[in-house]
């Protein structure tokens, strides 16, 4: 893997690159709170299969620039970063693979620029179309006075102050498997004024088997250097994104792969059949849905072999002859 700092869409962007230029291009887009390092198991596997792989630190993360304005993180800026990466690689088209927030970017890249992104693979976060009401209004109505992390992330300066004071506490709380044993939560009052995010789930008693202390140390070094504001600004664009995408056709018209864990909280209200049914109207070319029983949210790290097999089979079918 080669580390580079490039100029991309007016940003200084850090990317990890592997494989041979000229091979079918695959862009790997990470989510929150993550890094290019989240794809450490996928980059070599894809490169060895003949793909040209680029895994950036996304806007606001790691060694990539973090613009100060909140609106610089709306979905159009994030998608434009991905288009600029395709241009930088000298390619006409790419496959895009996204996890968590990176999946949101990947879906929108396929929606807005199907001529540049000939296929999409999404991990953890499905595309279900644009909601009929503002997502913030939906969440405020649903949660009321109870704590909800997305609403907590809306006020600039609040969440980053908590996370930057204890990055290890945040990452250890989040980077866990569904069955990781935990201490009792430090915050048991569900009211939003009872405290921040760290401590509401309870600190895991040990790291999950898929994450070593060295892996955790890498992530911690990244966030201690970059801070959390850039990534949190993605959340502060939910309302803006909803407004900006009004009138945009929500049907993804390129081949798609969806990978989800049965115990991922993002899809906790669905099972495999209902997820497929809900995606079908807006993802009519869903090639396959890999439903991993017992898997959680950090799926490409937790179950890398299964994710890699699915990705390689899908990409070989949609890109292998380019």
**Separation between Cα atoms, residue 156 and residue 231, nearest integer Å:** 11
Do residue 64 and residue 207 come from a single domain? Answer: no
**Which of 207, 235, 263 represents a domain boundary (last residue)?**
235
Per-residue pLDDT tens digits for 256-302: 999 999 999 999 999 999 999 999 999 999 999 999 999 999 999 99
**Which of 181, 208, 235 represents a domain boundary (last residue)?**
235
Q: What mean pLDDT comes out for the span 172-190?
A: 96
pLDDT bucket at 111, cuts 50 / 70 / 90: very high
Q: What percent of the chain has pLDDT over 90?
A: 97
Q: Is residue 242 part of a domain?
A: no
Q: Are strands 52-56 and 94-99 parallel, antiparallel or unpaired?
A: unpaired
Residue 212: give the domain boundaries: 135-235
Do residue 80 and residue 229 come from a single domain? Answer: no
Do residue 175 and residue 123 come from a single domain? Answer: no
Note if 30 is an active site residue.
no
Do residue 50 and residue 93 come from a single domain? Answer: yes
Q: Residue 258 pairs with which residues in a beta bridge?
A: 122, 289
Q: Provide the pLDDT for residue 108.
A: 98
Instruction: Return the exposure string of 6-43: e unless at least 16 CB atoms fall within 10 Å of the residue's CB, then b.
Output: bebbebebbbbbbbeeebbbbbbbbbbbbbbbbbbbbb
Q: Provide the pLDDT for residue 318.
A: 86
Number of domains making up the chain? 2
Do residue 251 and residue 114 come from a single domain? Answer: yes
Task: Decide if pLDDT at 322 tops 60.
Answer: no
Task: Decide if pLDDT at 316 tops 80.
Answer: yes
Q: Find the catalytic residue in 81, 100, 113, 153.
A: 100
pTM, to two decimals? 0.96
Alpha helices (H) along 32-91? 42-48, 75-88
Q: Is residue 172 part of a domain?
A: yes
Q: What mean pLDDT comes out for the span 27-41?
A: 98
Q: Is residue 241 part of a domain?
A: no
Do residue 127 and residue 147 come from a single domain? Answer: no
Do residue 123 and residue 262 come from a single domain? Answer: yes
Q: Is residue 179 part of a domain?
A: yes
Note if 5 is an active site residue.
no
Do residue 255 and residue 118 come from a single domain? Answer: yes
Do residue 141 and residue 116 come from a single domain? Answer: no
Non-local CB neighbours of 243 within 8 Å, separated by 6+ positions: none
Task: Decide if pLDDT at 61 tops 60.
Answer: yes
Is residue 76 within 8 A of residue 83, CB to CB? The reply is: no
Task: Decide if pLDDT at 40 tops 70.
Answer: yes
**Which of 235, 259, 282 represents a domain boundary (last residue)?**
235
Do residue 301 and residue 173 come from a single domain? Answer: no
Do residue 53 and residue 119 come from a single domain? Answer: yes
Q: Provide the pLDDT for residue 321.
A: 43
Task: Decide if pLDDT at 320 tops 70.
Answer: no
Q: Is residue 240 part of a domain?
A: no
Q: Provide the pLDDT for residue 319.
A: 76
Per-residue pLDDT tens digits for 205-250: 999 999 999 999 999 999 999 999 999 999 999 999 999 999 999 9
CATH number of the domain encompassing residue 51 = 3.40.50.1820
Task: Decide if pLDDT at 24 tops 60.
Answer: yes
Q: What mean pLDDT comes out for the span 101-111?
A: 98
Q: Is residue 206 part of a domain?
A: yes
Q: Provide the pLDDT for residue 203.
A: 94
Q: Is residue 47 part of a domain?
A: yes
Do residue 75 and residue 172 come from a single domain? Answer: no
How far, in Å, are 80, 142, 254, 307 from residue 83 at the CA level? 5, 36, 16, 24
Q: What percent of the chain has pLDDT over 70?
A: 99
């Amino acid at each position: 893997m080669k580390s580079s700092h490039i100029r991309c869409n007016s940003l200084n962007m850090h990317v990890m690159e592997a494989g041979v230029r000229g091979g079918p291009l695959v862009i790997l887009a990470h989510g929150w709170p993550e890094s290019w390092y989240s794809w450490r198991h996928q980059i070599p596997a894809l490169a060895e299969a003949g793909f040209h792989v680029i895994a950036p630190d996304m806007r606001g993360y790691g060694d990539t620039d973090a613009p100060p304005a909140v609106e610089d993180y709306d979905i159009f800026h994030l998608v434009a970063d991905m288009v600029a990466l395709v241009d930088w690689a000298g390619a006409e088209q790419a496959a895009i693979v996204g996890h968590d927030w990176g999946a949101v970017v990947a879906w929108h890249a396929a929606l807005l620029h199907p001529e540049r992104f000939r296929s999409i693979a999404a991990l953890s976060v499905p595309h279900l179309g644009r909601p009929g009401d503002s997502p913030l209004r939906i969440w405020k109505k649903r949660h009321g006075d109870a704590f909800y992390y997305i609403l907590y992330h809306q006020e600039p300066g609040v969440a980053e102050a908590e996370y930057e004071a204890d990055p290890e506490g945040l990452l250890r709380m989040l980077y866990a498997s569904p069955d990781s044993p935990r201490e009792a939560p430090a915050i048991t009052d569900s009211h939003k004024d009872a405290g921040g995010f760290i401590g509401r789930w309870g600190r895991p008693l040990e790291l999950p088997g898929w994450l070593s202390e060295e892996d955790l140390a890498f992530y911690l070094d990244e966030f201690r250097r970059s801070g959390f504001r850039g990534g949190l600004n993605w959340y502060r664009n939910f309302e803006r994104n909803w407004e900006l995408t009004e009138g945009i056709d929500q049907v993804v018209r390129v081949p798609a792969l969806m990978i989800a864990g049965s115990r991922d909280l993002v899809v906790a209200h669905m099972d495999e059949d209902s997820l497929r049914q809900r995606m079908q109207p807006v993802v009519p070319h869903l090639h396959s849905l890999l439903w991993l029983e017992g898997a959680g949210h950090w799926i490409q790290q937790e179950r890398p072999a299964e994710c890699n097999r699915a990705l390689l089979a899908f990409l070989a079918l949609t890109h292998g002859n380019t």
